[in-house]
Amino acid sequence: MVINNAGNVGIGTTSPAQLLDIAVTSGTANIRLCSQFAAGYITSGYNAGVNSYIGFHCGANNTAALGTPQFVVSTTGSGYAGINTSNPASRLHVHNTDSNYPIRLTNDAGGWFIGQPNNAETALYVVRLGSGTFVYVTPGATSWAGSSDRRLKENIVPLSSAVENIMKLNPVKYNFIGNETNTNFGLIAQEVLDIYPEVVSNTSSENYEDGVYGITYTEFVPILIKGMQEQQEMIQSQQAQIDALVARLAAAGIA
């Protein structure tokens, strides 16, 4: 260790260029910060032929060995960041090896989990914290699937009067303000609120007038299925009446 005239401290080098300059000729350059209960490391490392990186480690106790960095800033891609990997392959690369979701976003109102919950899982999940509901997409799928397992549900009752309510809906085409080039098809949330409030949401949980209304259109799928079933029952009933009239006409020699 040397201290030069500028007050720079060098470890492994006789010409320190910074206040603390640590240099090694092989392996990694490590700084260990240790308290009574935990140990942390700052590492300058190199994956041969791949990248150089600065890694940060945190041990569960003050004798924890140096392992894979929990967080890394890499020279790959001009500054890729990695969590639980020393070789990040994108701007932010999270490598999950346990049974928790790798990304958690929270505020005072709750939070979300995002990612794959374990190292063997192939589907990507988005989970509402504490709700038991989630959406996910599996390899090869072209759309998201929503949790619909019977074991997650209670108070299950059949739908009724679907056709009557469907006839009250007002399908429209429109464009969003400021985007006159794109035409959209849909419903107006405030109108649907009076018919199917269950499918309408708002970005504000306190004052709806301060938030923006939205519609979960996928919730209309079972409603439309029920409407088709009701229509089919009407068609079959009408067909039975037609068949009976045709038979009576035939019996009377009119048909």
Angstrom distance (rounded) from CA 255 to CA 241: 16
Which tens digits make up the pLDDT trace of 72-122?
Answer: 777 766 678 888 887 888 888 888 887 788 888 888 878 888 888 776 678
Angstrom distance (rounded) from CA 81 to CA 171: 47
**pLDDT of the residue at 152:** 87
Q: Which residues of 160-173 are buried (b: 16+ CB within 10 A; e: fewer)?
A: eebeebbeeeeeee
Number of neighbouring beta carbons within 10 Å of residue 110: 12
Structure-token pair, residue 253: 């020699």
Q: Which residues contact 201 (CB under 8 A, 6 or more apart)?
A: 213, 214, 215, 216
Angstrom distance (rounded) from CA 103 to CA 115: 6
**pLDDT of the residue at 160:** 85
Instruction: Please tell me what DSSP assigns to residue 154.
Output: -
Instruction: Please tell me what DSSP assigns to residue 9.
Output: E
**pLDDT of the residue at 193:** 94
| pTM of the full structure | 0.66
Structure-token pair, residue 17: 């260029």
Angstrom distance (rounded) from CA 135 to CA 128: 9
DSSP per-residue codes, 167-199 = TT---EEE--TT-TT--EEE--HHHHHTT-GGG
Angstrom distance (rounded) from CA 54 to CA 240: 78
Tell me the Cα Rg of the chain. 32
Angstrom distance (rounded) from CA 150 to CA 85: 38
Q: Which domains does the chain have, with CATH numbers?
A: 2-94 (no CATH), 103-152 (no CATH), 162-251 (1.10.10.10)
Of 128, 168, 174, 121, the residue nearest 152 (C-alpha)? 128
Q: Which residues of 197-225 are buried (b: 16+ CB within 10 A; e: fewer)?
A: eebbebeeeeeeeeeeeebeeeebeebee
pLDDT < 50 stretches in the chain:
none
At 24 the three-state DSSP class reads coil
End-to-end CA distance of the chain: 113
Angstrom distance (rounded) from CA 249 to CA 178: 63
